[in-house]
Amino acid sequence: MSVKVREKEGIIVVDLAGEIRLSDNFTPTLQRQVAEQLAEGKSDILLNFAKVDFIDSYGIGDIVASYSAVKEKKGRLKLACLSPKIWLIFQYSGLTRILEIFDSEEKAIQSFG
């Protein structure tokens, strides 16, 4: 998984790419990236899944932990651009009832308004 962080209209956008899974390499996890943003006082975060190919239970746990950390800081964590396959995983896990998920980055950014 690769993670790139940028800011757009005051919202932190985390661009995810590849596979979100438990692996042997020690690249920063999503949860760590979110924690860094929260430490800087930035609590409105959008996870962009446009380039995510796969997510396993470790990845789902990472997202849930990130969501909890953001909520604790009174922030908002939203998701955008999930492929149909990834969206089904979130639906089956029940997370579509908890997380706000948008079809496009633009719609998600507007929803923070």
- Domain locations in the chain as residue ranges: 2-111
Closest CA to 16 of 26, 29, 2: 2
pLDDT of 24 reads: 61
Q: Assess contact for 58 and 22: CB atoms under 8 A.
A: yes
pLDDT of 18 reads: 92
pLDDT, tens digit (0-9, with 9 covering 90-100), for 4-60: 999 999 999 999 999 988 876 645 578 899 999 999 999 999 999 999 999 998 899
pLDDT of 27 reads: 56
pTM of full prediction above 0.75: yes
Q: How many CB atoms lie within 10 A of CB 77?
A: 21
pLDDT, tens digit (0-9, with 9 covering 90-100), for 68-104: 999 999 999 999 999 999 999 999 999 999 999 999 9
Q: How many CB atoms lie within 10 A of CB 38?
A: 18
Q: For the domain made up of 2-111, give the CATH fold.
A: Transcription Regulator spoIIAA (3.30.750)
Residue 106: pLDDT above 90? yes
